[in-house]
Every structure is written in structure tokens, then in C-alpha cells.
Amino acid sequence: MPLLFEPIAIRELTIRNRAWLSPMCMYSCNAEDGMPNDWHLTHLGARAQGGFGLIMSEAVAVTKDGRITPQDAGLWNDEQAEAWAHIVKFVHDQGAAFGFQLGHAGRKASTYRGFPGEPKGCIAIEDGGWQTLGPSTIAHEGYRAPRAMTRGDMDDVIDAFTAAAGRADRVGADVVEVHAAHGYLLHEFLSPLANDRADEYGGSFENRVRFPLEVIKAVRAVWPQDKPLFVRVSATDWIEGGWDVEQTSRFAGLLQRIGVDLIDVSSGSIAPAKIPATRNYQVPLAAKIRSDNTILTAAVGLILEPKEAEKILISGESDVVFLARVALREAAWPLRAAFELGLDATEIPYPPQYTRARFDLIPAE
Ligand SMILES: Cc1cc2nc3c(=O)[nH]c(=O)nc-3n(C[C@H](O)[C@H](O)[C@H](O)COP(=O)(O)O)c2cc1C
């Protein structure tokens, strides 16, 4: 059995394989109401049919102001939860697990989605943008300066994350992943490049991790004990003086102690940086965190080929892999991967409707 198709058990959840759909914003709530629609159903549903073990939602906003763009999906009200319930059920019916990535965009909120032919960058207030929040008033390059969060704002954000986690549970999600990467709110607290607070939430490592830990601890307290909790991190800012892999590794140890089960290891996006984005470039970051701690890790980033993914798992660099862009090209990537890695045809998770397309039944030439 290739390791990529070995089920993995985390708490009371067993996921059918280790090829997981990475969170990807679709910016497709065209009514700007955070409501997932047929696009989200078919996009996520097709990848569940395509054999992914875990279907992770896009970064779902926990507050309206925490959206990256006006078209982001949300989980800040019960109407949105109801719409998600339908999608979660469909994904489950295909044999996949469903996770919500919960996010708050912080100082990187209020931007255009930047589809081809559309404007890019920060939306001005007069054009429908909104005042963003951040740990400090340091602006993301080219964006409006955020308002530095008060203790009251911090409590509101904690409440929004826990309310969203409660809804995620009620609609049957199996996993919650807290988004603490890519220059969004929680990463902004972690990184000295965005956080120059003079109180107990800025300065030292202990202070910068304090608010993210408060949020994640609060989520763990409401998220059922039998369900796994993940955190996505940017393991390095790729900038001298920023957040780095040593700090991430320490942070991972703290997260494990508060009941986080898996660290999903991405990198960058707090500020423009030179990133060596070659094949599998973030895998060594996952490997470092995995070797320093005993927490499960996910690798992501330019993992394209089944054999590469299998090699990463066999070498012990990570426990699972997330796939993003390659899964946009090929919704059923895991079905091909299973065939190429030699999984017995009867064990490949083809939907019964698709079994006539089995790789072994159709001559290659
Ligand atoms: C269209 C698109 C949207 C994305 N949205 C998110 C997101 O909502 N949350 C997140 O953590 N990462 C997001 N990412 C990053 C991916 O999850 C992934 O980490 C990154 O694309 C690298 O993996 P890949 O080389 O397999 O694409 C997005 C990437 C793409 C291409």
C-alpha cells in the first residue's frame, strides 16, 4: 500500500488517504454576502469525487470585516452555515472528510479579488472598502494602514473564531484549521514585520505568540475533543528580522500543548520577499518542524507528482500533503496518483459512477 493511500487516524477521525485538498479562496460569493453557492459545491464536490481524503474549504471569514475580498465565503452567520451544511454532506457522501479553514484577513482585508481584467489591490473606502484591523498601524505594502486592535477588538475576534467553530461543528465538519499564515491577522501578530506593539502582545517571542495562542486555545475549547484541530502557519517570512522556522518550531511545540493536532506548513506573504519557489520548496520547513516536535505536519507547495508526494511521506518529511494548484488542473489527481503508485484497482476510490473510466481498464496506447 503506498503511504499516500494509507488512511490516517487523528483523534476519532479516520481520513481515507493523505492527499488533501489545500484551502483555496474562490472569491465567488458574487452577492458579497459570504454565502457559499453552486460554485463552491461543484468545486469542492468534484475534488471529493476525485478521491481527495480531506477537502479543506477556502479561508472562510469569521467576520465580515475579516474577509480578504468582498466575495469571500463566510461562517459568521447561521444562514451561511446552513448553505455550507449541504456542501459538507455532499463531500461526506463521496467518502471524503471536510474541514473549514477559519480566517481573519487583518490588515490584508478589503482588497479586490484581482480576477483577469478586474482591478487589483486595496479597495478604497469610497469604493466599498472598509477599515482593516491589525496588531499595529503598520500597513501592508501598498495597502491602507490598519487600526491597531484594542483589547475589545481582540475579544471580538476570539468570539468570532469560536462562534464559527461552533457552526462548523453543527454543520458536520470533521476538521477546523485556524489560518495563521500568509500575512493575515494571526500571522501579523507573530511577525515583528507587522507587529510593533508595546504591550504584552508585541516584542518578545512570548508576547507575539500570545494572541494567536489565545484564539487557538478558545477554538480548541469549543471544538469537540474527538475532532482534530489544525493550524496553518507561514514557517518563515523569508525576510531577515521576520518570523522564521526556529520560531515556528517553538510555536508548534506550544500549539501541540494546547491540543493542536497538525501543523500545515506554508510560508511567506507577510511582505514582498525573494522566495525560492522551486518544486517541493516548503517541504524542508515541514520536515524541520516535524523533527523538532512530535506533532503531525502537512507539507504543501509545488508538490505536483504522485511519486514526489509518496517520497515526501516515506522519507518522513511530513505526514500528509496538501495540493492546491495541481488540483485546480486535475480534480481527480488522487485517482491517477493511486493508479501510478500501484494501488490495487479495487482500492482506488473511484465513485461507482466513474468506475468504467478505471485506468487499468483503458489501454494506455
Ligand atoms: C487560487 C488559490 C487560492 C488560495 N487560497 C488560499 C486560502 O484560502 N488559504 C490558504 O491557506 N492558502 C491559500 N492558497 C495557497 C494554497 O493553499 C497553497 O498553499 C499554495 O498554492 C501552494 O501549493 P501549490 O503549489 O500546490 O499550489 C491559495 C492558492 C491558490 C492557487
Q: Whose CA is nearest to atom 3 of ligand 1?
A: 24
Specify the ligand 1 atom closest to the Cα of 179. 11
pLDDT (0 to 100) of residue 365: 87
Q: Distances from the Cα of 316 to the Cαs of 246, 247, 286, in angstroms?
A: 19, 21, 10
Distance CA 36, CA 19 (A): 24
For 30-87, the DSSP string reads: TTSS----HHHHHHHHHHHHTT-SEEEEEEEESSGGG-SSTT--B-SSHHHHHHHHHH
Average pLDDT over residues 90-115: 98
Dist. CA 326 → ligand 1 center (Å): 10
Percentage of the chain exceeding pLDDT 70: 100
Could you read off the pLDDT of 224-280 as tens digits, one per residue? 999 999 999 999 999 999 999 999 999 999 999 999 999 999 999 999 999 999 999
What are the sequence ranges of the domains in the chain?
A: 3-361
pLDDT (0 to 100) of residue 76: 98
Superfamily of domain 3-361: Aldolase class I (3.20.20.70)
Dist. CA 332 → ligand 1 center (Å): 18
Q: Whose CA is nearest to atom 6 of ligand 1?
A: 24
Q: Active-site residues: which are they?
A: 184
- φ/ψ region of 175 (left if φ > 0, alpha if ψ in -120 to 50, else beta) reads beta
Tell me the average pLDDT of the chain.
98
DSSP state of 215: H
Bridge partner residues of 14 (DSSP): 9
Query: Is the pLDDT assigned to residue 288 strictly greater than 90?
Result: yes
What count of other Cβ atoms lies within 10 Å of the Cβ of residue 249?
19
pLDDT (0 to 100) of residue 206: 98
pLDDT (0 to 100) of residue 18: 98
pLDDT (0 to 100) of residue 53: 98
Report yes or no: 243 and 205 within 8 Å, Cβ to Cβ.
no
Specify the ligand 1 atom closest to the Cα of 323. 26
Distance CA 136, CA 221 (A): 28
What count of other Cβ atoms lies within 10 Å of the Cβ of residue 353?
8
pLDDT (0 to 100) of residue 360: 92
pLDDT (0 to 100) of residue 165: 99
Dist. CA 22 → ligand 1 center (Å): 6
Q: Whose CA is nearest to atom 26 of ligand 1?
A: 324
Could you read off the pLDDT of 170-207 as tens digits, one per residue? 999 999 999 999 999 999 999 999 999 999 999 999 99
List ligand 1's pocket residues with C-beta within 6 A: 22-25, 58-59, 101, 179, 181-182, 232, 266, 300-303, 323-326
Dist. CA 300 → ligand 1 center (Å): 9
Average pLDDT over residues 30-38: 98
Query: Is the pLDDT assigned to residue 364 strictly greater than 90?
Result: no
For residue 175, give the H/E element and its range: strand 175-180
Q: Whose CA is nearest to atom 10 of ligand 1?
A: 23
